[in-house]
Amino acid sequence: MSPPDLSTLARDGLWDNNPALVQLLGLCPLLAVSASVVNALGLALATLGVLMGSNLAVSLIRQRVPTAVRLPAFVMIIAAFVTCADLLMAAYAFELHRVLGIFIPLIVTNCAILGRADAFAARQPPLPALLDGLMMGLGFGAVLVLLGAIRELFGQGTLFAGLDLLLGPLAADWQLTLIPDYDFLFLVLPPGAFFTAGLLIALKNAIDDRRRRATAPTPRERIRVTGTPR
Amino acid sequence: MSLMHASTAQAVPGTPGVMRWVLVATLPGIALMSWHFGWGVLANVLVAGGLAMALEALMLRLRGRAIGATLGDHSALVSGVLLGAALPPFAPWWLLLVGVAAAIVVAKHLYGGLGQNLFNPAMVGYALLLIAFPVPMTQWVAPLGLVGPEALSPLEALRQLAGLGPGLDALSGATPLDAFKHKPEGLMAQEFWAGEPLPPGAQAAWRDVALGWLAGGALLLWRRLIDWRIPLALLGSLTLLSGLLYAGDPSQHGSPAFHLFAGAAIFGACFIATDPVSAAAGRRGRWLYGAAIGVLVVVIRTQGAYPDAIAFAVLLMNFAVPLIDHLLPPRPLGRRQRETSP
């Protein structure tokens, strides 16, 4: 099997086989940490880094790992990268690290990462594996940040609140208050995450449907000659 | 088809007929509630009913369905009226709009319209509002009456509906269930009630409203529009469980009468749990469905974070209905009881 080219990887990761919208993997962190843009962005970056690192490492050792023990080996690799991400975040974005709490270590249980390691990286050379990690991570992260933006905007009326936790004091005044004195707790709480994620999946399917209908050739008219309906 | 099998040849009213009777049956409850809590109740019911009709028409249009026939079955109106009656009186318009939108747009039409909804639409709207706006949803205006020296005028009701002017915080307080839930730990129940934690007349008002709903439920039972098993099982299990708790420690638990008449138990038993779409289908299934709601209500009221529990209990059992219908399926028409048991 020849490795897929970059555009195929990009289309798969970002749209056709998006981990969050199509594979529906990694929903636990996706739903738990998407109440605001800063939380979503923090988790998205951490997941992206872990996914690229684990895909590359799994691909490098793919010929040395016996099939029978491959899953424990992959999990150990992922756990190592998650520990790196956890410590890096604690060092450089401590406040955000405290906010995200258990969900950083829990990246290790994100099935999207193990899924990519087993389904793609273990069968492909390092460069496509790295690029697949990048594209899948970006696809997952894009949905995460979009979900965070929608929930923050319609839950609290703001956007980019507290972004300085992640990007430093430069971002301290990036907060946009689009709807002042506004509060819709439903979207901030977990049920709102399920609801918004469902709407995003529905939107993606609707767009796909419309595209398919636009590109499909117009069906040829067939005239029925047998068994004419009464 | 003029020939009909004898067993189906009864005068069964269609959906519009049933819904008209349900609307009639809500009248005593709504009337008594308005009598005690004022014009805000009528405003809630009328605005929520109107919004429900408008959103139903909008959704039917978006889905490319015929508007006239479906809107004429009054089912959206019933959902709106029930939701409006469940919300605190003098609610602002946006509260009603969000609740009705959750009920009609999400719970009803996104699931496929009347007959396809897994969850009771009115209770989906109520639960969403309770989660999203806990403060306005648990503040009830004191029973100031419809007419009389202290009553709030219809104009004031309109002002509150429009969200203008100061809120009614000074005139509002906890419901009896809410007050009892936040009873200080060491205080005995008798001492608590002796301290008059509620506005005067509140408990009597809640009891009268519950009796009004009971009258409506009796009408529906008399017209055979609801299955008697569900309300009986619900109220029976609620009375039994709250009675056991009360017998165990009367100083810390509400009496069965308190559980029956202080909250929405009777309203839920007669108008919410009996919704034929989202309830269990079989007879044995309905016993189980109703009894489980009653148990859940007592459990959530005594152990949970929310003062009343009808909405959550009904929605939780709506989840269980496919399983109940699988385990205790409705008996096919004409079959004897023995043949179905495997």
Residues B209-259 pLDDT 10s: 999 999 999 999 999 889 999 999 999 999 999 999 999 988 888 899 999
Same domain as B179, residue B156: no
Q: Which domain holds residue B227?
A: 175-328
On whether residue B340 sits in a domain, the answer given is: no
Burial of residue B216 (number of CB atoms within 10 Å: 0-12, 13-18, 19+):
buried
Residue B170 in this model has a pLDDT that exceeds 80: no
CA A180 to chain B, closest CA, distance in angstroms equals 16
In A, which residues are within 8 Å of B134 by CB distance? 185
CA B150 to chain A, closest CA, distance in angstroms equals 32
- Chain A residues 178-217 with CB within 8 Å of chain B: 184-187, 189, 191, 195
Closest CA to B238 of B297, B285, B300: B297
Residues B66-97 pLDDT 10s: 887 778 788 999 999 999 999 999 899 999 99
Residue B12 in this model has a pLDDT that exceeds 80: no
Same domain as B42, residue B22: yes
Task: Quote the mean pLDDT of chain B.
Answer: 87
Residues B98-155 pLDDT 10s: 999 999 999 999 988 888 899 999 999 999 999 888 888 888 888 888 887 777 888 8
Query: Which residue of chain B is at minimal alpha-carbon distance from A185?
Result: B132
In A, which residues are within 8 Å of B128 by CB distance? 186, 191
Domain boundary, last residue among B118, B147, B173? B173
| Residue to test with chain B: of A185, A187, A188, A189, most B Cβ within 10 A | A185
- Mean pLDDT for the stretch of residues A41-56: 93
Q: pTM to 2 decimals?
A: 0.83
Residues A159-211 pLDDT 10s: 888 777 777 777 777 778 877 777 888 888 888 899 999 999 999 999 999 98
Tokens 């009896």 belong to which residue? Answer: B176
Cβ separation B131–A184 shorter than 8 A: no
Residue B34 in this model has a pLDDT that exceeds 50: yes
On whether residue B323 sits in a domain, the answer given is: yes
| Beta bridge partners of residue A158, listed in sequence order | A177
Maximum mean pLDDT: which of A142-146, B63-67, B112-116: A142-146
Q: How many structural domains is chain B composed of?
A: 2
Q: What pLDDT score was predicted for residue A219?
A: 61
DSSP B61-79: HHTT--HHHHHTT-HHHHH
On whether residue B5 sits in a domain, the answer given is: no
A220 pLDDT tier (thresholds 50, 70, 90): low
DSSP conformational letter for A176? E
Q: What pLDDT score was predicted for residue B342?
A: 46
Q: Is the pLDDT higher at B300 or at B67?
A: B300
For residues B185-199, one letter each, b for 16 or more C-beta atoms within 10 angstroms of the residue's C-beta and e for the rest, the string is eeeebeebbeeebbb
On whether residue B162 sits in a domain, the answer given is: yes
Q: What pLDDT score was predicted for residue A5?
A: 83
Q: What pLDDT score was predicted for residue B1?
A: 38
